Amino acid sequence: MQATKFHTNKKLTALLLLLTIALFSTSSFLVAQETTTDSTTHLVPDSSISKDAVSSKLHYKSTDSIRFDMKNKMVYLFGNVEVYYDDIELKAEEVEINLDSNIVIARGKQDSLGKFYGEPVMKEAGKVFNAHEIKYNIKSKKGIITEVMTHEGESYIHGRKVYKTPDNVMYIRHGKYTTCNEKHPHYYFSASKLKIIPKDKIVTGPANLVIEDVPTPIGIPFGFFPNTDKQQSGILIPTPGESGQYGFFLLNGGYYWGVSEKLNLQLTGDIYSKGSWAGNFISNYKSRYRYSGNLDVRFSTFKNGIEGLSNYSEKQDFFFRWNHAQDPKARPTSNFSANVNIGTSQNFTNNFNSSGQDFLSASFNSTVSYKKSWDGKPFNLALNGFHSQNVQTKSVTVRLPDVAFNVSRLQPLKTNKPGKRNDLLDNFGVSYSMNMKNEVTAGDSLFTFNNMDALSKQFRTGMRHSIPISTSMKMFKHFTVNPAANFSETWYIESLEKRWDNNTNELVVDTVNGFVRTGAYDLNVNVTTKLYGMYQYKSKVIKAIRHVATPSVGFSYIPENTQGIETYRDSLNNEFEYSIFQNGIYGNNNRQEAGNINLGLLNNFEMKVRNRKDSLGEDKKIKLLENLGFRSSYNMIADSLNWSNINIDARTNIFRVITLNYNAQLDPYQLDSMGRKINLFEYNRSGKVGRLISSNLAIGFSLRSKTNTANKEEKTSSYGTEEELAYIRSNPQAYIDFNVPWTINVNYNIRYSKPQFEATTVQTLNFSGDFSLTQKWKVGFTSGYDFETKELTYTTVDIYRDLHCWEMSFNWIPFGVRQSYLFTIKIKSAILQDLKMTRRSVPNIF
């Protein structure tokens, strides 16, 4: 037994000695074997190893097997092979590694149907290469790649054979340049030779445009495509179309200049066959963690009719838009923002290249604001500028400046001592606010540089100080009592004076410069509680209906205020009263004393539905009526007409799809033959609580089908930047989503008004939506119905075709002053290709 054991150890020792000698004789630490485990080879050069041998760690693994050939210094890997060396990552079904020449060959494998799988994918320095076969020297970083596909930014390059140099310059034979991310691109520029210089450019020889594998007559003698991480610039191709009013046109042609990552500029123009034209300057800017914004300036001249004839007219318009937002992280205690929209009132009516939303807007507004707060202090300051412009009346209001200073609510009597609390004192609070306004209202034609002096004299200026005081407390456990008082002081730098001129026998109104003031106060107390009611059912479906009623009773007192009341007499010695604050920006004081008892009742109805699938499961709650409210008041001091109008408000949501909002006003008093209210209740005449003097009903619903994709929660993509993806998520109305087969939105509104004897009813109906004809074709529409003229209102029909890497749209306005069509076909960005979305054409965003 002992001899046998010794003989076995002798054999093992001899075998180990031979293997060690073999390892050093081949200048390798490898042995011939098969394994499925991960391996790492670290070669340290010495006098016996080639100077070109690798000196870094070479990591490799496979799921099938690894075979070592010591004689030829080869390593063969099979099955989901992964090889890592420095910044090189290689994956393929089969890989050969020559440890002597440092050449790696990777390829896929054919299945029983002749289809290749596991074709090599190589990553180096952030670049990805998909290929049929890769032959690469990991030491010199030279290589030959067969049937390659790689991408540079949003560009994709295909090549039959690629020669790669150590400095990553690639020479491609029989190449294709495209922005389509498909393995078989829908379009490309075909060239026999291409050269890719990293972070610089892509150069081709003679190239031909190929669409769906069909060569087109479009060719170029050479191609030059930017290939840099920096902002790019280029020509913007115009969009063709035709308008019945302005003729054939080209829109938005011009030049885009990517100045830097923080700034870009765009200069475009529109030209019409009947002589009209427009120029547009757009700039976007952004400083990360500081601010962002955009600027849009537009000038246009639109010509109608034939020059020299009576029907000829020429209109010049301009429009200025500026949006600026500050990042909250930049200055947590201060913020500057701007949303400016200013221009000629008829700009969107005349300007064809504008959105449908702008065209239908009755007004546009501007706000520039600076807000400041102080850490640990209750103070905050706001400096604002405001502008409002009515398109129909052409009236412009400018308020500059509008200053607000506020002190947050302070509770000086609140105690943090343990023990019994005194709600009345602990909840006692006082705050302060100051508001100063400087405002003028005039026609838009008066807002010219030559008329600035005259406009400055029309400004109304005032300042108001307010001190609200309030507290709250519980009474009898179920009642909440809220007493409050408000004190205000109003300052003006001018006042009104009226006098009768006996010489001209007319009233003279003068503006008197000088400081004047007026004060006011009011007191009020309000009591609220909640009442709960439950109606039980024995139904198999309905379990119960819950009713929550919130009644409120309050009292408010406003004293008589005769400050600023003056008189004048006419030629017949008739005396007239007026207020010197009549034209003040804050209006007149409340002249009459009032003591109002305020009554209110809010109601909420919910239904509990049994869980029919699981008797032990939780019941489902359905809101029947989210709100049903009644409000009115009784003036105890008035000698007649003590009751105010009865206000009714109702709101509900049906199946989370249909939204209903209703409000109405009832006047409890009768009218005489002259249409004046008299101190007789309507109930005594007709048996009704009051006369319906106004009501409004708004019904809206929005439906959409289920998406075709598994990801229904949020749009995600590996293409584009986070900023681009965030914009798409937050602006879904700006895109056509081919993942959603159909959507429809309908809004109906009816307004009724009858203040005296004549009633008027106004109805509006607007609807929009889109639906898919096929997986790649979609039709969108917006329209409405005018019940008075019995005609359709502003209508658009949009047809979209998803061409994956291209997008095509046909936008048609069939009638009206903007009757026209617009045809667009352009390359789509990679992020929209991935999301299967198409951007809507600007003129028809609604």
Tens of pLDDT, residue by residue over 169-189, are: 889 988 888 888 888 888 888
Residue 775: pLDDT band (50, 70, 90) is confident
Q: Decide: residue 473, CB within 10 A, 0-12 exposed, 13-18 middle, 19+ buried.
A: middle
Reading the block at residue 116, the tokens are 């290749």
Question: Which residue's structure tokens are 């600027």?
Answer: 295
The better pLDDT of the pair 711, 242 is held by 242
CB-based contact 506:576 (threshold 8 Å) = no
3-state secondary structure of 94: strand
Selected residue with higher pLDDT from 316 and 10 = 316
Residue 13 has pLDDT above 50, yes or no: no
What DSSP string runs through 694-742? EEEEEEEEEEEPPPSSS--S----SSS-HHHHHHHHH-GGGEEETTSSE
Strand partners, 724: none
When pLDDT is cut at 50, 70 and 90, the band that residue 23 belongs to is very low
pLDDT at 373: 93
d(CA 512, CA 496): 6
* Contact in structure between 631 and 600 (CB atoms under 8 Å): yes
186 within 8 A of 176, measured Cβ to Cβ: no
631, 599 contact by CB (below 8 A): yes
SS (H, E, C) 578-609: EECCCCCCCCCCCCCCEEEEEEEEEEEEEEEE
Cβ atoms of 417 and 459 within 8 Å: the answer is no
**The pLDDT of residue 479:** 93
| β-strand partners of 110 | 116
Burial, 546: exposed, middle or buried (Cβ in 10 Å; 0-12, 13-18, 19+)? middle
Residue written as tokens 């309905």?
A: 542
Whole-number average pLDDT of the chain: 83
Q: How much of the chain is helix, strand and coil, in % rounded to 5?
A: 10, 60, 35
- How does residue 433 score in pLDDT terms, banded at 50, 70 and 90? very high
Strand partners, 813: 820
Residue 240: closest CA among 255, 251, 256? 251
Give the up-direction half-sphere exposure of residue 682: CA atoms within 13 A in the CB hemisphere. Answer: 16
- pTM of the model as a whole: 0.73
Over residues 389-410, the mean pLDDT reads 91
The predicted structure's pLDDT at residue 617 = 67
421-433 average pLDDT score:
87
Residue 213, helix vs strand vs coil:
coil
Task: Give the mean model confidence (pLDDT) for residues 82-106.
Answer: 89
DSSP states of 122-165 as a string?
EEETTEEEE-SEEEEETTT--EEEEEEEEEETTEEEEEEEEEE-
Q: Write the pLDDT tens digit of every residue in 129-148.
A: 889 999 988 888 888 989 88
Q: What is the pLDDT of residue 443?
A: 87
Instruction: Name 667's Cβ contacts closer than 8 Å, sequence gap at least 6.
Output: 645, 646, 677, 682, 690, 691, 693
Q: Which residue has tokens 């869980």?
A: 611
Which residue, 412, 465, 406, is CA-closest to 431?
406
Q: Could you read off the pLDDT of 451-464 as tens digits, one per residue?
A: 888 888 889 999 99
Residues in the chain, overall count? 846
What is the rounded distance in angstroms from the CA atom of residue 776 to the CA atom of residue 810? Answer: 14
pLDDT for res 723: 55
Identify the pLDDT of residue 31. 35
| pLDDT at 820 exceeding the cut of 50 | yes
Q: Which residue has the higher pLDDT, 295 or 831?
A: 295
pLDDT value at residue 616: 66
In this structure, of 226-240, 352-366, 574-588, 825-839, the range with the lowest mean pLDDT score is 825-839
pLDDT at res. 1:
38
Half-sphere exposure of 644 (CA within 13 A, CB side): 17
Dist. CA 516–CA 511, nearest whole Å: 12
Confidence grade of residue 212 (pLDDT, cut at 50, 70, 90): confident
Who wins on pLDDT, 729 or 78? 78
Confidence label for 338 from pLDDT (cuts 50, 70 and 90): very high
- pLDDT, tens only, 30-49: 333 344 445 554 443 444 44
> What domains are defined for the chain?
33-234 (2.60.450.10), 472-634 (no CATH), 705-844 (no CATH)
Q: What are the Cα distances from residue 757, in Å, to 670, 671, 676, 753?
A: 11, 9, 10, 10
Residue 415 has pLDDT above 90, yes or no: no
Lowest mean pLDDT among 56-65, 267-276, 660-669: 56-65
> Does the pLDDT value for residue 205 go beyond 60?
yes
Residue 552, both tokens: 């409120």
pLDDT of residue 701 exceeding 50, the answer is: yes
Helix (H) or strand (E) holding 830: helix 830-835
In this predicted structure, the answer to whether residue 11 has a pLDDT above a threshold of 90 is: no
3-state secondary structure 285-338: EEECCCEEEEEEEEEEEEEECCCCCCCCEEEEEEEEEEEEEECCCCCCCEEEEE
Q: Which of 299-303, 417-421, 738-742, 762-766 has the lowest mean pLDDT?
A: 417-421
Distance CA 445, CA 151 (A): 56
pLDDT at 746: 95
